[in-house]
Amino acid sequence: MLQKSNTLQTKIVQPVNILFKLKKIISFCFFLTFFMCSIFSEQTSNKVFSENNFRDLFNNNLSEENIIKLKDGKEVMIRLESAELLSLKPITKEAEKTLKSVKTLNPSYLMEIIKIIPKKNHENLISTLNGSFLEIENYNGIPYYSESKKRWEDLFSDAHVVKKSKSNNVQTVTINLKMDPFGKFNADLVIIQNKDSLEFTLQNQKNLRIIGVPVVKPQNMLCTVYAFEYNDNWILYGTGGVLAPKVPVLGSKAEVSFVNRISTFCRYIFNTLE
């Protein structure tokens, strides 16, 4: 009887552990996108932007509170329940393409990140941003504190380029990342650089697994960044989304994981700017 009880307990605990670890996939996409949008997040004032300027770029999903933050030069991070709540307007064909890619995926977990940087003193932001995206090896060994394990560990224990190619203004790089508890997985990174804009996407190309169980299918984890010039400013608009089961049991623990991973990347980027 005791043996049967232990067997039943094991069958119950194992799926719960898988679901609990699933939050790391979702938070990975969020913090990576935030990393991309925070590369130049100096606390510079952006008072030149008026209310009309913002409404040219963003719809009413962007709150007045967040508009004030953007005017003050702060980055804004917004958790969204649906891709229909994205705030960027399809003001260019590149913006329209970015929005379409996210809406097509229709992620279960989604975040958008917005940052506005004055062009003055950042004239070369697009080329600098491009270079920062491609410094894959610098992702190795970023220290991350795991709340679930109560210890410090590497956010990525390995990150390297598998192959890369370039055609005109389009760069495609296949990268291999190692992240606990998923082991190694490949993702495709694509950058399209123009004189005054840059498009970035990162998408997994194989199943992400936990103890052999697929938890995210190929191309169901998507990060995007669209950076462009507007009225003597650079607009950085990023999204991070994952199509995966929503598990109520994760609750606030998932939220803590998201925030901690985002802040880890933020602190890392701030340190590189010193």
CATH number, domain at 166? 3.30.530
Please report, for residues 27, 39, 46, 85, 96, the alpha-carbon distance to residue 90 in angstroms, rounded to integers and kept in the order given: 26, 24, 23, 13, 4
pTM for this model (two decimals):
0.80
Mean pLDDT of all residues in 123-135: 86
Q: Does residue 43 have a pLDDT over 60?
A: no
> For 41-50, 139-148, 163-172, 204-213, which range has the lowest pLDDT when averaged over its residues?
41-50
- Is residue 85 very low, low, confident or very high in pLDDT (cuts 50, 70, 90)? very high
Mean pLDDT of all residues in 27-42: 56
Amino acid at 37: C
- Residue 15 has a pLDDT of 55
Q: Which domain holds residue 181?
A: 2-273
Please give the tally of structural domains in the chain: 1
Q: Which residue is associated with the tokens 């507007």?
A: 230
- Residue 29 has a pLDDT of 61
Which residues are CB-neighbours of 5 under 8 A, at least 6 positions away? none
- 58 secondary structure, DSSP code: B
Q: Does residue 190 have a pLDDT over 60?
A: yes
- Is residue 270 very low, low, confident or very high in pLDDT (cuts 50, 70, 90)? very low
CB 98 within 8 A of CB 199: yes
